[in-house]
Amino acid sequence: MPKLLCIGEILVEMVAADVDQSWLEPATWHGPFPSGAPAILADQAALCGATVDLVGSVGADPFGEACLARLRRSGVGLEHVRVDDTGTTGVAFVRYSASGARSFVFHLPETASGRFRLDDPATALADVGLVHVMGSTAFSADAVAAIGRFVDDASARGVPVSFDPNLRPEMLRRPEHVAELRRILLGARVVLASEGELPALLGDASDAACAARLLGGAAQVVVVKRGAAGASLFEPGRPEAREPGVAVHEVDPTGAGDCFGGTFLALYLSGTDPTTALRYANLAAGLSVTQRGPMSGNRSLADLEAALRSPAPGSGRPSQSAGPSSGAL
Ligand code: ATP
Ligand code: MG
């Protein structure tokens, strides 16, 4: 199977124990959980059988060790992850409010986690079938430059790009960063966006209008993730395919989009047809929100197949339809 190469932040995450927990007073936090959007995606892709390498950086400290141990256990290749003893591993704090909204405090740009780069693109990209980039990685000028170079290095060698805008509100205030994300989006072969992100980057009125524009350019597949409402797939010359959300009790939705992406890309790279990949990704992401911690709900393809065959009550939607191995390969 062609290899997947992801780039970006590896960090630990602390999750507030209570809804609407104060940022200003001492309180209880769960964690540290291994995290970072590209790391979550790579972890899930590896669990689903992809050959996947991650380009990143962590500090020479226990938080870095915890992240690398988790990724190694899941089978992610760490050859391009630097352990930088001049800084510490990044930390994100996340808190949910009663409305369902999320807020973050990030310690990232100034940490060892922010100092990733691909040193040897010729070697690293030699046997790669797809590179994946996420907008959450555009957290500093250096990081934006690193992902821009990464995409250019891949494109120069004919390696297609997959992109998840994964926009953070604070990024939209930096026009030069937004312009770079738009450039990466317009050149991507696979686009995995959340509802509203494509109109925010492209200015078209709807996700469907943006998908049509992208499919008229470099894109072959555009997915729009719709949280509890599931996800949609757009392909050239085909009607929108919708997958409804699985019925679950949501505990911690952070990382669901990345679990979705890891599952989708692993199956896509294995030659599975995108409609089947959509169904598995939607199931994996739906099940992932039932557990606290951004990677805690990641699971293998075998587990997903078992859930499709005989879902536990409240853990998914029964389905007898064909698995990825019986898709159009
Ligand atoms: P993040 O960036 O935090 O990882 P996202 O914004 O990229 O998330 P979402 O649309 O929130 O992505 O969620 C991704 C996918 O996860 C959805 O398309 C859906 O398949 C699944 N999902 C998320 N929340 C729920 C939920 N409450 N119930 C069922 N499925 C869900
Ligand atoms: Mg996202």
DSSP 122-151: HHHTTTEEEEEEEGGG-SSHHHHHHHHHHH
Atom index in ligand 1 nearest the CA of residue 192 equals 7
Q: Hunting for tokens 């590179």 — which residue is that?
A: 131
Q: Which residue bears the tokens 């199977």? A: 1
Record the tokens describing residue 274, joined without a space.
């995108």
Ligand 1 touching residue 136 (CB < 6 A): no
The whole-number average pLDDT for the span 223-235 is 98
Q: Is 70 exceeded by the pLDDT of residue 285?
A: yes
The answer as to whether 317 is a domain residue is no
What are the tens digits of pLDDT across the range 58-116?
A: 999 999 999 999 999 999 999 999 999 999 999 999 999 999 899 999 999 999 999 99
77 lines ligand 1 (CB under 6 A): no
With 90 as the cut, is the pLDDT of residue 154 above it?
yes
Cα(263) to ligand 2 centroid in Å equals: 14
Q: Considering only 105-109, 167-171, 229-233, which range has the smallest mean pLDDT?
A: 167-171
Q: Which of 60-64, 137-141, 235-239, 319-323 has the lowest mean pLDDT?
A: 319-323
**Closest-lying ligand to the alpha carbon of 232?**
1
Q: Does 321 fall in a domain?
A: no
Region 155-162 average pLDDT: 98
Q: Please report, for residues 200, 224, 329, the alpha-carbon distance to residue 177 in angstroms, rounded to integers and kept in the order given.
A: 13, 22, 38
CA of 258 to the centre of ligand 2 (A): 6
Tell whether omega for the bond before 32 is within 30 degrees of 0, i.e. cis. Answer: yes
Distance from the alpha carbon of residue 313 to the mean position of ligand 1, in angstroms: 20
CA distance 135 to 94: 18
Q: What CATH number corresponds to the domain at position 238? A: 3.40.1190.20
168 CB within 6 A, ligand 1: no
Which pLDDT score, from 0 to 100, does residue 168 have?
A: 84
Look at residue 295 and tell me whether its pLDDT is greater than 60: yes
Asked if residue 32 belongs to a domain, the reply is: no
Q: Is residue 315 in a domain?
A: no
Which pLDDT score is estimated for 322? Answer: 41
The pLDDT confidence band at residue 277, using thresholds 50, 70 and 90, is very high
Residue bearing the CA closest to ligand 1, atom 13 = 227
Task: List, in sequence order, every beta strand (DSSP E) within the chain.
Answer: 3-7, 11-16, 29-35, 52-59, 77-84, 90-96, 102-107, 128-134, 161-164, 190-194, 221-225, 231-234, 241-243
User: Which one of the ligands is nearest to 40 CA?
Assistant: 1
Residue 313 pLDDT greater than 60, yes or no = no
Residue 60 C-alpha to ligand 1 middle, in angstroms? 32
Is residue 216 domain-resident?
yes
Determine which residue's CA is closest to atom 2 belonging to ligand 1: 257
Which pLDDT band holds residue 311 (cuts at 50, 70, 90)?
Answer: low
Amino acid in position 23? W
**pTM over the 0.85 mark:** yes
261, 41 contact by CB (below 8 A): yes
| Cα–ligand 1 centroid distance for 44 (angstroms) | 14
Neighbours of 318 (CB within 10 A): 9
pLDDT, the chain, mean: 93
Q: Which domain holds residue 42?
A: 3-8+37-56+70-79+118-309
How many helices (H) and strands (E) the chain has is answered by 10, 13
Domain membership of residue 256 (yes or no) is yes
| Mean pLDDT in residue range 133-155 | 96
**pLDDT over 80 (residue 312):** no
- Whether residue 20 lies inside any domain: the answer is no
- Residue 310: which H helix or E strand, with range? none
pLDDT bin (cut points 50, 70, 90) of residue 172 is: confident
Question: What is the SS3 assignment for 319?
Answer: coil
Residue 298 CB–ligand 1 contact under 6 Å = no
Give the pLDDT score at 324: 56
Residue 89 lies in a domain: no
**Predicted confidence (pLDDT) at residue 173 exceeds the cutoff of 90:** no
> Which of the ligands is closest to the CA of residue 258?
1
Nearest Cα neighbor of 297 from 63, 47, 91, 58 is 47
Q: How far is the CA of 227 from the centre of ligand 2 (A)?
A: 10
Ligand 1 binding pocket includes 88 (Cβ within 6 Å): no
Residue 184 CA to residue 171 CA, distance in Å, equals 15
DSSP 60: S
pLDDT of residue 321: 42
User: 36 in ligand 1 pocket by Cβ < 6 Å?
Assistant: no
- Residue 283 Cβ inside 6 Å of ligand 1? The answer reads no
Once rounded to an integer, what is the mean pLDDT over residues 310-328?
45
SS3 breakdown of the chain: % helix, strand, coil, rounded to 5?
Answer: 40, 25, 40
pLDDT of residue 197: 97
| Average pLDDT of the residues in 25-35 | 97
Tell me the average pLDDT across 303-319. Answer: 67
For residue 216, the cross-strand partners are none
Q: Total structural domains in the chain?
A: 1
**230 touches 280 (CB < 8 A):** no
pLDDT at 326: 34
Q: Residue 329: pLDDT band by 50, 70, 90 thresholds?
A: very low
